[in-house]
Structure formats: C-alpha cells, structure tokens
Structure 1
C-alpha cells in the first residue's frame, strides 16, 4: 500500500513539473504573472484578456527593440 501511494505521489510531482515547464516554455505563465501584477498595482482596472495582453506585449517589443537583431 505504501509503495503505491509513494509511486502516485512521485508521478503527480513529475506531472506537475512537466506542466510547469510547458507553461514556462509556451509563455502561458507569463500572462498569469502579468495578471497578478496588474491586479496588485491597479485593483480597480479590468484585467486585459489574453489577446489584449499579447497585442500590448507585441507593441512594447516593437517600440523597445533591445537586444534583438531584427
């Protein structure tokens, strides 16, 4: 019984690590961090949707091309 529980915990931990890695890799976690920061600094303002966030991020990157070759 203990071995089964330990294996289940290990699999769950491994799956959580894979999920974290994929969220960081795809940028999904970045949007979540942005939403948290936005809520802390602007509690009364509505949080931008994912699409609005991507547009804002793209505009910012185009206006501030630091360290990019193209």
Structure 2
C-alpha cells in the first residue's frame, strides 16, 4: 500500500515537472468552455505555447 502511494506521488511529481499535467488541465478547461470544439492535440497545444515562452525569456532562469 505504501509503495503504491509513493509511486503515485512520484508519478504526480514527474508529470508536474515535465508539464504533462498542464496539458491535461488545459484539455479539461477546453472541454468545459468549448464542448463542441475538438480538443487540440498535444503538438497543437505545445507549438504556440513554446513560441510564447521564447518570446518572453525574462520569466525563465536560463
């Protein structure tokens, strides 16, 4: 039981660290606010997001 809980915590942490959970949250918001529109693929979501991050480098450490 403890091992499963720890594994779940590690999985949660890694998903937050890599940004995978952010896409899942975006999909949830998209389905809520635009129920008839198709949900963008992960790539369709990442390309404009990466461009936006690159246009504002001051908010990042490196």
The CA RMSD over aligned residues, in Å, is: 1.9
- TM (norm. structure 1) is 0.75
Please list every run of 5 or more consecutive structure 1 residues that lacks an aligned counterpart in the other structure: 1-8
Q: 1:30 aligns with which of 12, 17, 22?
A: 22
**Which structure: larger Rg?**
1
Tell me how many residue pairs correspond in the alignment: 60
Q: With a CA cutoff of 8 Å and minimum separation of 6, indicate the structure with the bigger relative contact order.
A: 2
TM-score, normalised with respect to structure 2: 0.83
Runs of 4+ in 1 over 3 A off after TM superposition: none
**What is the CA–CA distance in structure 1 between the aligned matches of 2:57 and 2:36, rounded to whole Å?**
32
Q: Secondary structure at the match of 1:47?
A: coil
